[in-house]
Each structure stands twice: as structure tokens, then as C-alpha cells.
Amino acid sequence: MGDHGRVDLVIFDCDGVLVDSEPIVGRVLADRMRQLGIQITDQECASAFAGLDQAAAARLIADRLGSAVPPGWFDALTVAVDAALRAEVAPVPGIVPVLQQLRVPFCVASNGRPEKVALTLGACGLAAYFEGRIFTAAEVARGKPAPDLFLLAASRMGVPPARCVVVEDSESGVAAARSAGMRVLRYAPDGSTPGPVRAFRSMAELPSLLSLGDGNRSISVCADSQ
């Protein structure tokens, strides 16, 4: 796939891109893991589990624990996470003006549970921007880093992968977008620039990166599929 081309769809990840949920989830998850005897900090937890679906998270926890998690553990975790998100989650700084400016179709594709995605978008006042355009890993056989979810979103939106740009913050999401043959912009507010994709620190940069004022809706990013 070339570096230049028309953009007919922007696909947003949810956690860490639209909603500032990852520190909250990391804190709750780390606390629950420490109760199992796994030594991990909140920050380490947020970083290690960013972008993972529940199946991948369960495997990672089992590896750390040396055995499967106790029965009911994930159910209790879900209740605790949802309660914390409901009370604390906020939009990622600057995302609302971006959504208001966007003049091309956009949607959200998340590895998160459908209920969690609905909860966080609703709590942040973002749900109306994505009505009927929310896709989750529950709809595909394989979540990110497989390309299935992004390909589903593009298909449902009627746009070929080469005309899509994905906005992601996690390694698994970037890998999924590249595998899907899509261009990708990585939101990295900490200033890191891992991997061969264009990274940006502030949502205020995104409109210019997407060339929103350009009638050709063109974008140039280094994101050739592997």
C-alpha cells in the first residue's frame, strides 16, 4: 500500500484514544492482581494490558500467576472496573473538537466488551457521535492484533481498507491496522514514537494530520502493511 491516498473512513480505537480509561482500568486490575499475589504496579498493569481483549488478558494473568485465575474472578473484576469507570472516566483531552471537525465518516473499533464501550462513551458524552457505528471484538473470531475487527468495521461502513486511517494508541492496535492494510496514526501523549508509524502527542494535531481542510481528504503516513 502506498503512503498517499484518499481517506474515506477514520476508525478510532476507544480506550486511550476516545476515553481516558486505561489508567483507571490499570489501577483496578493491578489491585485485583496483587490480591492474587502478583506483584505489579498500576502503571505497569495499564501498559501491559493496553489493547488486549479479555482472552489475551486472561492468558497473561495466568502466565504471571502460574495457574488459571479463580472461578468468578473476572466477573468480580468486571463489576469493579465498570463501577470505577462510571465514576471517573473522562474524554481524552481534545477529542471532542476533533469529532466536531471531522468531515469524513468515522467509527469506533474496540477490543473492549460491548458493555464497557457503551458505558465509557456514554459517560463521556461521546455516544451520540458513534451511534450505529460501534464495533467490538465480540463480533469477530479474533480481536486485535488480528486484523479482523478493523476489516469488519471497514466492510460495515462500505469503505475499502486502503481508504481507511486508524487512530490507535496500543501496539496490538497498530499491528491490527497494519495487518488489515490500513494506514495508522498512533496517539502517544507521552512523546514516545515506537514502531514505523507516525505518532502524535496531542489530539490538536490530528485534524492537520488527517488534512481535514483538503478536499482530497489525503494523508501521508508511514504505515505500509507487513
Does one domain contain both 49 and 155? Answer: no
Residue 186, in any domain of the structure: yes
Q: By the 8 A CB rule, do 182 and 11 touch? A: yes
Does one domain contain both 107 and 210? Answer: yes
With bands split at pLDDT 50, 70 and 90, how would you rate the model's confidence at 19? very high
Does one domain contain both 74 and 162? Answer: no
Does one domain contain both 132 and 189? Answer: yes
225 pLDDT above the threshold of 60: no
Domain that holds residue 52: 22-88
pTM score over 0.85: yes
Give the number of other CB atoms < 10 A from CB of residue 138. 16
Cα–Cα distance for residue pair 136/147, rounded to 1 Å: 12
Amino acid at 86: R
Most confident segment among 38-52, 138-152, 197-211: 138-152
Does one domain contain both 83 and 132? Answer: no
Residue 73, in any domain of the structure: yes
- Of the chain, the percentage scoring pLDDT greater than 90 comes to 76
Amino acid at 66: G
Cα–Cα distance for residue pair 31/40, rounded to 1 Å: 9
Does one domain contain both 123 and 166? Answer: yes
Cell 474524554, residue?
A: 91
Number of domains composing the chain: 2
Q: What is each CA distance from 61 to 1, 120, 160, in whole angstroms?
A: 37, 24, 36
What pLDDT score was predicted for residue 185?
95
Amino acid at 21: S
What are phi and psi for residue 115, nearest 5 degrees?
A: -65, -40
Does a cis peptide bond (omega within 30 degrees of 0) precede residue 70? no
Does one domain contain both 193 and 114? Answer: yes
In tens, the pLDDT along 23-62 reads: 999 999 999 999 999 999 998 998 888 878 778 888 999 9
Does one domain contain both 73 and 149? Answer: no
Of 88, 120, 144, the residue that ends a domain is 88
Cα–Cα distance for residue pair 220/147, rounded to 1 Å: 21
In tens, the pLDDT along 98-143 reads: 999 999 999 999 999 999 999 999 999 999 999 999 999 999 999 9
Does one domain contain both 110 and 184? Answer: yes
DSSP string, 20-70: --HHHHHHHHHHHHHHTT----HHHHHHHHTT--HHHHHHHHHHHHTSPPP
- HSE on the CB side for 4, CA within 13 Å? 1
